[in-house]
Structure 1
Amino acid sequence: MAPSSERFRQMLCYIHQDDLLRPQLLVGEIMLLAAHLKLGFKVTKAYKMDLIKHILSLLGLDHRYNVPTGKLSGGQKKRLAIALELISNPPVLYLDEPTTGLDSSSCSSCVALLKKLASQGHTIVCTIHQPSALIFEMFDKLYTVVDGHCMYQGPVRELVPFLADQQLVCPSYHNPADYLLEVAVGEHQRDLNELIHAANKKYYEDVDRHRYMSSDDMARLVESIKENMGGKAVVKTSEALAAFAAAQFSSFDYVKPSPQELALEEIKALSGGPESADPDLLEKNLRPQPQPLAKAGELARPPNAIRSASFLMQYVLLMQRILICAKRNYFLLLARIFSHIFIGVVFGYLYMNVGNNAQSVLGNYVYLYGSTLLLVYTGKMAVVLTFPLEIDMLTREHFNRWYKLGPYFLSLISFEIPFQSLCTAMYIIISVHLTGNDATDSFRIYYFMLLGIMASLSAQAWGFFVGATLPTKLAVFLGPILAVMFSVFGFCTRYIDITPLFRWMWHLSYFRAGFHGALNAIYGMDRPFLECPETAMYCHFRSPKVFLKYMMISDVHMSDCLILMGIVIGVMHVLTLITLWHKLNKR
């Protein structure tokens, strides 16, 4: 099976070097969430709970079931990351430096755990730098890379004899791993090209030695596999063995450690043996065979077929995760709410009672501009860091087939859009009442609120796109700059005063659409004359139509503004989804 094939990718999981866990979730909650996503809902919850307890007990985390992941130690976080992937019982686990950031005791425990998993049928592949002698001896096979070339590959126990054959004698008191690194960096004045050539020669000699198997070796191999699989009959050809192994690996049957290790070369040698498959025997082995829960820790495979959660259930589960995290980390949400309330009160008292005053039309004009500017900035900057902070976690969970991109993105905007709309509505209700813009027709306030929400959501969509496209520092820097560029049109400069080179930005500016729409909501739609104070000698803008005509927005329709902002929201969300898909699927 080629490593690049889709079937092979479905059989492996990748565990990142960093502990990519959401600190708000409890250990039991995140394990149950992973079980729901990976196993689907045709598997009973009772089985999932048994599986979770079994895995946590296997990894020594059963006593931390109700502890938030943010309060776990470094070694416990590493074990929890492994436990999350063991739910789907992947045949192959890739780990990127699993001992990084751990103390010596935690390092030994982590590698011992990986050794135990390897003895239970998993293939464990991990990178490691400068392991101690104790940890180094736990590994079965070693692959050393220097300058992009293999300097040694083979059993760990054969490393020291191999180096001795190359006139590189490792002292008995020296850690072989440290000695090998010293050779790799050139401390022993040895030509690495000769060592690389010798390693390749040794590898091909080992391959030739195990290319074919005798009948006795074949019988021993089959008996070993049969013992690992619980005494069931097994097939005897390479193709049938591959299919049989894939079926067994997906059966969630955690078997007991085998007393003897099967060499990889022996399994490869099956390709040179006789090809006499028994279809009836193969079908029998591939058919699910339920087993009762074993007292010794063996776990029965589920009674129903294993299928990951559907699109809808993935969306529901991810939405539930977002709500739990938001409930337990509510400070940021409260800050967003109170900031809108506070600025609404400040703006309200700053522009108090300008709404129906013909002498204060320009003051109300500035209030509407400042409101649109506030809603655009809060909408964009509140989410611009969402993807830069979550992209590593999203990449790991998506690669390990927890969920698809669609449900994740849909659940995210399903939370952010209503929340930002709520914040916008609270600001407008407070500020509109204090400024006196609600003194006339109430439907104008509803239109103003709708336009403010659409402007804020347009900026939010831009924030998602900028955050998904650019690195963190660049996204924080360019986000406000883009908002300033779009905010220029419609307030400081009239359309006839814009250089023809930049008039296209006037037509595409969602800020201009929101601001002009708000002006039409307040002063358009045949609004009657404004009140002119008795102390004023003359009110030039007593007629709202005169003001709109003077600002050259009398022919702007709110429907056009709403359509433009709706298009911006849809297009930017689609572009964000495409950008994320490209990042998650690039090779």
Structure 2
Amino acid sequence: MTTCQADLKLDFAAIQSKNDLTCANEAPLKASPQCPTQPLRTNQLNLTFADLNYRVRNGFFSKEKKNVLSNVSGDFRPGELTAIMGPSGAGKSTLMDILAGFTTSNVTGSILVNGQTRDLTAFRRTSAYIMQDDNLQSLLTVQEIMSVAANLKLDTSHSAKQEGVDVILREMGLDASRKTRTGNLSGGQKKRLAIALELISNPPIMFFDEPTSGLDSVTSRQCVGLLKSLAREGRTVVCTIHQPSAILFDMIDHLYVVAEGQCAYAGGAQNLLGFLQKLDLHCPTYHNPADFLLEIINGDYGDHLPRLIASSGNGCSQLWRGHGGSHDRRAKLPRMASSAPELAPKIPLPTTPVFYESQAKGSAYYATNSWSQLRILLWRNALRLSRDRVLTFTRLTMHFIIALLVGTIFYKIGQDAAYAIDNFNLLFFSMMFLMFSVFNATLITIPAELPILIREHFNRWYKLRSFYMANKLADLPVQVAATSTYALVVYQMSGQIPELNRLGLFVMMCVLVSLVAQTIGMILGTSLNVQNGVIFGPFAILPFMMFSGFFVHLNDAHPYLQWLFHMSFLKYGFEGVMVAIYGYDRPNMKCSKDYCHYISPKKLLKTVDMKNSEYWFSTLVLLGLYIALDLTAYFLLRLKLKQRLYR
């Protein structure tokens, strides 16, 4: 055990003694410093870390690694608003991600919770991470999104959930905005709503990444006042902040300064000037101490950073911690927030003690089971899709308008042998249109859903498979309706043979092609961002079109390239609609001209190398591809999520 680790353990023991933590009437589960045979029972969590290191590669092809964090240590306590401050690129967000459990790979060192080694699963059950971007469902109202969160995160009665939502909205100053869609909220309201969503589970430790980013000075002050109020109720509140104003700086209880991956100061914000004066660094009168410290770190007054790191013990030193000043500053908060009393909420921690030990695996990781999660998420997605004019109504309208246009161009040619080749072109265009329309829509929408998924999944709202199934099932009726609308209108206007079974086969094949294209779009949308997806997505889908059998027939291709045709899902879809229209012993067609070469449907199928094609074989291939690609999309999303959560 290092000296710093020993100091942190001793300091934690002092905190326990000060808070009068007792062992009376506790079950003997695990030893603790005060009760050797019993676990620590408290509704507060103290977070300490020692000798944290984090290394990343300099480049993708480089084997060399650089230190983002180097042997940093610290102690973040309940009841205090802790701010991690530092210049851009100093490592403050990286430290926050590691402490929150968002980053776990390439990390060495120890992280303790109430004096025990942190168990990540137990820790995530008792913590919340509010990220810099709000990532809210913009089409849902405040009441709706809070109800969804309550139903997912609480395992209580409906009345208890509603009562909890009412209390949080009232205390967070959002009661008057219940019926407002989140997309229409102001920046400060969105920030408060993001906090309110995580307060539903009432976690004892909360992390905030740049909570004042994008907010004006007044709203920033209100936001920090809100965080301070949450800490005053006994929570451990940790936030990153780049360069706080003098007012914001005065509201901070514990300041942790990161520079070049090391700790330049750890202690009370009110003790910073005394710390600097000990090093003969005197802050000018009326100068913001935070600005002065950043100027020192940036080298404006010389190279003093090594002295700062040494004096703070890289976060080990507790000399500048100070407790009296924080209590004095707490008294200032009501005056500072007097213009907006609703920003000083009273949402105390539950009186039930938090059992935090790695051996206690009995409590469920999620509050609700998979079926309940699926039901709630289905309702949310259905509500969102019903209000999304672009994703839902535009898709339906676009398919209908394009169908009318195509039907007008190819009007009543389906039963005339003189236009057999034109009908052949029509069927291929239909497959191509259905493929590209759903592929492009999915390619653009999936990246927009990822940030919401990351925030909610990391904060234990639901399992990934529940989210994935809910999205698939909610979007399925819209996709089937849009594809069927196009297929029915085109089939009728183009004058195809009026047989119900052929119509059903045609529509079903169109739907299958669109669903396979949708899963391909989901795979690429998960792998690429919107910009790269728009650029490289069409290049990924074009080979399926090139080897569909329309531009080059299978038997005309080089033998070494014929295997590529069998890899194209569009080939099977194209063969399926051709068989649905011209197969199954369809009688000879009428001819409106003196000579029609393809008066026999079989002759047309033979010319285009589809004489031996089977509709149901194509159906089975497309179904198999859909299932395989759907599983691939799910596991790719799972891998992507794991990499981003535990990178």
* Pairwise TM-score range, normalised by the shorter structure: 0.7 to 0.9
2:238 maps to amino acid: V
Moved over 6 A (4+): 207-210, 284-287
- Once the two structures are superposed, residues 286-315 of structure 1 have per-residue CA deviations (whole angstroms, 9 ceiling, x without a partner) of 89xxxxxxxxxxxxxxxxx99612111111
Instruction: Tell whether the 8 Å contact from 1:116 to 1:257 is kept in structure 2 after alignment.
Output: no
Q: Among residues 251, 259, 263, which one is paired with 1:146 in the alignment?
A: 259
1:412 is matched with 471
2:224 is matched with 111
2:491 is matched with 432
* 1:255 and 2:348 matched: yes
The structure with the greater share of residues assigned to helix is 1
- Alpha-carbon distance in structure 2 between the residues aligned to 1:405 and 1:318: 11
Superposed displacement of residue 316, structure 1 = 1.2
Seen in structure 2, the aligned counterparts of structure 1 residues 358 and 4 have a Cα distance that, compared at 3 Å, is same
Instruction: Tell whether the 8 Å contact from 1:184 to 1:192 is kept in structure 2 after alignment.
Output: yes
Instruction: Tell whether the 8 Å contact from 1:315 to 1:407 is kept in structure 2 after alignment.
Output: yes
* 1:573 and 2:630 matched: yes
1:32 maps to amino acid: S
- Once the two structures are superposed, residues 311-368 of structure 1 have per-residue CA deviations (whole angstroms, 9 ceiling, x without a partner) of 1111111111112122223344222112111221222221122211112110110111
- Alpha-carbon distance in structure 2 between the residues aligned to 1:486 and 1:114: 53
Q: Secondary structure at the match of 2:562?
A: helix
Instruction: Tell whether the 8 Å contact from 2:262 to 2:314 is kept in structure 1 after alignment.
Output: no
**Residue pairs, 1:90-239, within 5 angstroms:** 90-200=203-313, 203-204=316-317, 206=319
1:442 is matched with 500
1:163 maps to amino acid: L
Q: Secondary structure at the match of 2:258?
A: strand
Instruction: Tell whether the 8 Å contact from 1:97 to 1:129 is kept in structure 2 after alignment.
Output: yes
- Alpha-carbon distance in structure 1 between the residues aligned to 2:203 and 2:484: 48
Seen in structure 2, the aligned counterparts of structure 1 residues 207 and 199 have a Cα distance that, compared at 3 Å, is closer
- Alpha-carbon distance in structure 2 between the residues aligned to 1:434 and 1:561: 26
* 1:354 and 2:447 matched: no
2:622 maps to amino acid: M
Seen in structure 2, the aligned counterparts of structure 1 residues 307 and 576 have a Cα distance that, compared at 3 Å, is closer
* 1:461 and 2:574 matched: no
Seen in structure 2, the aligned counterparts of structure 1 residues 162 and 113 have a Cα distance that, compared at 3 Å, is same
1:2 is matched with 117
Instruction: Tell whether the 8 Å contact from 2:125 to 2:365 is kept in structure 1 after alignment.
Output: no
- Alpha-carbon distance in structure 2 between the residues aligned to 1:209 and 1:109: 25
2:616 is matched with 559
Seen in structure 2, the aligned counterparts of structure 1 residues 194 and 379 have a Cα distance that, compared at 3 Å, is same
1:544 is matched with 601
| Identical pairs, percent | 37
Q: Secondary structure at the match of 1:352?
A: coil
- Alpha-carbon distance in structure 1 between the residues aligned to 2:248 and 2:273: 16
2:140 is matched with 25
Q: Among residues 158, 169, 181, which one is paired with 1:68 in the alignment?
A: 181
Q: Among residues 519, 527, 536, which one is paired with 2:586 in the alignment?
A: 527
Instruction: Tell whether the 8 Å contact from 2:188 to 2:215 is kept in structure 1 after alignment.
Output: yes
- Alpha-carbon distance in structure 2 between the residues aligned to 1:209 and 1:452: 70
- Alpha-carbon distance in structure 1 between the residues aligned to 2:437 and 2:315: 63
1:330 is matched with 389
Q: Secondary structure at the match of 2:587?
A: coil
Superposed displacement of residue 407, structure 1 = 1.0
Seen in structure 2, the aligned counterparts of structure 1 residues 195 and 344 have a Cα distance that, compared at 3 Å, is same
RMSD: 2.5
- Aligned length, in residue pairs: 499
**Structure 2 unaligned blocks of 5 or more:** 1-115, 324-345, 356-363
Q: Secondary structure at the match of 2:117?
A: coil
- Once the two structures are superposed, residues 132-158 of structure 1 have per-residue CA deviations (whole angstroms, 9 ceiling, x without a partner) of 112111111111111111111112122
Q: Secondary structure at the match of 2:442?
A: coil
2:168 is matched with 55
Seen in structure 2, the aligned counterparts of structure 1 residues 12 and 500 have a Cα distance that, compared at 3 Å, is farther
Instruction: Tell whether the 8 Å contact from 2:365 to 2:460 is kept in structure 1 after alignment.
Output: no
CA radius of gyration, larger in? 1
Superposed displacement of residue 12, structure 1 = 1.3
- Once the two structures are superposed, residues 90-120 of structure 1 have per-residue CA deviations (whole angstroms, 9 ceiling, x without a partner) of 1111101101111111111111111111011
- Alpha-carbon distance in structure 2 between the residues aligned to 1:478 and 1:193: 47
Seen in structure 2, the aligned counterparts of structure 1 residues 152 and 428 have a Cα distance that, compared at 3 Å, is same
1:583 maps to amino acid: K
1:554 maps to amino acid: K
**Structure 1 unaligned blocks of 5 or more:** 211-252, 259-283, 288-304
Seen in structure 2, the aligned counterparts of structure 1 residues 255 and 337 have a Cα distance that, compared at 3 Å, is closer
Q: Secondary structure at the match of 1:385?
A: helix
Superposed displacement of residue 375, structure 1 = 0.9
Seen in structure 2, the aligned counterparts of structure 1 residues 45 and 349 have a Cα distance that, compared at 3 Å, is same
Instruction: Tell whether the 8 Å contact from 2:202 to 2:350 is kept in structure 1 after alignment.
Output: no
